[in-house]
Structure 1
Amino acid sequence: MKRSEACSKSKLERKTIEKNRRVRMKALGFKLASIIPDGHLRKSKEFLSHLDQIDEAAAYIKIVRDRIEALKGRKAQLINSGNVTKAAIGSETLPILTVKELGFCVEVMLISGLNKNFMLGQVISIIEQEAAEVLAVNISRVGDNIVHTLHAQIKISRVGVDTLNISNRIHEMISTSSLNFS
């Protein structure tokens, strides 16, 4: 009789462990699916099975990985060719600002000197006030320059984002900051 009790306890423990594993996997699947932007989904998240949500997440991760590799290649190419340093030393004065709309994303690249006269938090605030959510910030040093690259996602895709307004507001903020630091 002791053996049958031990066997039934063992089965119950295995069932409990398996149930906990399934619950945890389900929670992790929901967490993974919540990270994927709606613009990258074929269907609404509510209508996707767990397997489809994982497939969508894997596809999105691959897109992001490819984008990162392309940007790393572009960065290396700019550094190797010296274009970043030449642009900063050339006829343009620091800081140099470019704002690009890339589908549902916005890329803001700001090249400044080592003694930058602005606060990155203010730049992020401007981007977020213009209906975009900052997802990633990358700061690199290239020679005597600092390259700030901010990637943001447009909050409302049908409205879009006004890149010219972002650019103008950041330029205004930088010129105001330069006056205060001088």
Structure 2
Amino acid sequence: MENNPSSSRTDRKTIERNRRNQMKALYSQLNSLVPHQSSREPVLSLPDQLDEAASYIKRLQTNLERMKEKKDNLMGTERTNYASMSSCNGTTTGLRSPQIEVRETGSTLEVVLITGLDGQFMFNETIRVLHEEGAEIINASFSVVEDTVFHTIHSKVGDSAPSNGAARISQRLNQFVQDDNAF
């Protein structure tokens, strides 16, 4: 077999042309992914397009990190104190034994229910018990601190409630929470 120098040269030229076309297509694809400020901008040179793409990627990475931190803060699982928080209270996030405290002041009741993040059912049942006993819900609120939810319910025990209604409500709510803790 004979090596033809002109054939080798044309092969190299074809390979180089294909490589350049492929790079041009990749640059075009990269440039199409980067948002542009306005359509009136002059066409940027290739190095400027690459710089713009690199800075856009860095901005996206910064935004992603900031959003991850915000999510962690909102979820109450900040990485810096998560391990110490778990070892201090000995509980798993969201799994906390519910506690209830009922305070009676005249005809008003203040019910404070402390649960884990999974305690929505307990709150609903507390409201149900209050309604069954004839109490009128005046206000209900909650606040979340890390993996603990504090529910506060203000209610009024009216004339429609049976006699000694506040004591009965308190007893039923405490029994309900104790029964739930048994499981």
Q: What TM-score do the two structures reach when normalised by structure 1?
A: 0.40
Structure ID, larger Rg: 2
Q: What TM-score do the two structures reach when normalised by structure 2?
A: 0.40
Structure having the higher helix fraction is 1
